[in-house]
Amino acid sequence: MELEAPDFDLSRTLDSGQVFHWEKCGDGFAGAIGPRGVFVEQRGKRLRFSGVTAETITSYFALDHQLAKICRSFPDDPALTAARDFCQGLRIIRQPRWECLATFITSSMKQVAHIRQISRALRTRYGQRHRVKECAAPSFPTPSRVAKLTEPDLRACALGYRAKNLLATARLVASGDADLEQWSTLSEETLRARLCELPGVGAKVANCVMLFAYERLRAFPIDVWIERVLRQKYFPNQQKVTATQLRAFCETYFGEHGGYAQQYLFHHARKGGATPGTAAP
């Protein structure tokens, strides 16, 4: 099937560190959306896909987001202007709640490449097998599937100390004590508080899950990359800027689509060529 997808860059979106399981397959990508195996490839302004309906593709890749309007809502500063130029067509996608939460629990102190490896191990061992265009596209294991595993099972997927947290959170979700779907109706503050009660979830992971799975486009995750960007671009050569000050700045400065601004700054910093640690010329 095909679909119009103007103002969208598929490979850039899938390589921006918000989702970790899509893999190159021929001229496109193989992956899963929830329980279904999916192939998707971009041809100019059109998206060619199989495995799910056009409605699912539109929702997952957030093709209904008014990207131009979102970008216009950004504050006008050099760092953000450069990031926006670099990130054209990058969208914040709508991920299934559980797999987004689980994946970001495994992300702590890990590089993107390794998070991808963990996601692949969990999907290959414990997910449902799918095959699209001769490529594997396993789904992420359900909460109840993970809940029945043991800590050594998860450590065998290279989770290290994160294994205990993922297991405990899976059991809370599987039992219904943590109802991720029902939480979608909560206010921003309450949702963040609920997420932070889960083992292995702090402010950073909670904000990632809010942004990538609950469509809270204001949520502003601060990781080591973003912290570096903020200090370098928005607080140049000022020492003693506390984490609390940075957080307060982000809440007010970047506005209602702060999460988009954050993602653009993150992707630009990570892929834009500037070496981390070295000052800009």
* Out of 3, 14, 100, 201, the residue judged to bind DNA by CB under 7 A: 201
A 10 A CB-CB count for 193 gives: 12
**For DNA, which is the closer residue by CB, 139 or 262?**
262
Report the DSSP beta bridge partners of residue 43.
Answer: 46
Stretch of 26-34, 78-86, 140-148, 215-223 contacting DNA, by CB under 7 A:
215-223
Residue count (the chain): 281
**For DNA, which is the closer residue by CB, 135 or 158?**
158
Q: Which of residues 256-275 bind DNA (CB under 7 A)?
A: 262-263, 266, 270
Distances in Å between the Cα of 223 and the Cα atoms of 37, 75, 131, 204 are 31, 21, 34, 7
Q: Does 232 bind DNA (CB under 7 A)?
A: no
Stretch of 44-52, 55-63, 135-143, 195-203 contacting DNA, by CB under 7 A:
195-203
Q: Give burial (CB, 10 Å; 0-12/13-18/19+) of 161.
A: exposed
- Cα separation, 9 vs 87, in Å, equals 9
Q: Which two tokens stand for residue 243?
A: 């984490």
CB proximity list for 243: less than 8 A, separation 6 or greater? 222, 227
- CA 260 to chain CA centroid, Å, is 11
**For DNA, which is the closer residue by CB, 34 or 199?**
199
Stretch of 68-76, 109-117, 139-147, 171-179 contacting DNA, by CB under 7 A:
109-117
Q: Does 158 bind DNA (CB under 7 A)?
A: yes
Q: How far is the CB of 16 from DNA (least distance, A)?
A: 6
Stretch of 7-15, 64-72, 104-112, 129-137 contacting DNA, by CB under 7 A:
104-112
Q: How far is the CB of 228 from DNA (least distance, A)?
A: 8
Which residue spans within the chain are E strands per DSSP? 2-4, 23-25, 28-33, 36-43, 46-50, 131-132, 135-136
Q: Does 15 bind DNA (CB under 7 A)?
A: no
**For DNA, which is the closer residue by CB, 52 or 217?**
217
Q: Which of residues 110-149 bind DNA (CB under 7 A)?
A: 110-115, 117
Rounded to 10 deg, the angle between the 112-126 and 97-105 helix axes is 120
The DSSP code sequence of 2-25 is EEE-TT--HHHHHTSSS----EEE
Stretch of 15-23, 26-34, 45-53, 176-184 contacting DNA, by CB under 7 A:
15-23
Which residues contact DNA by CB under 7 A? Answer: 16-18, 107-115, 117, 155, 158-161, 165, 196, 199-206, 208, 221-226, 242-244, 262-263, 266, 270, 276-277
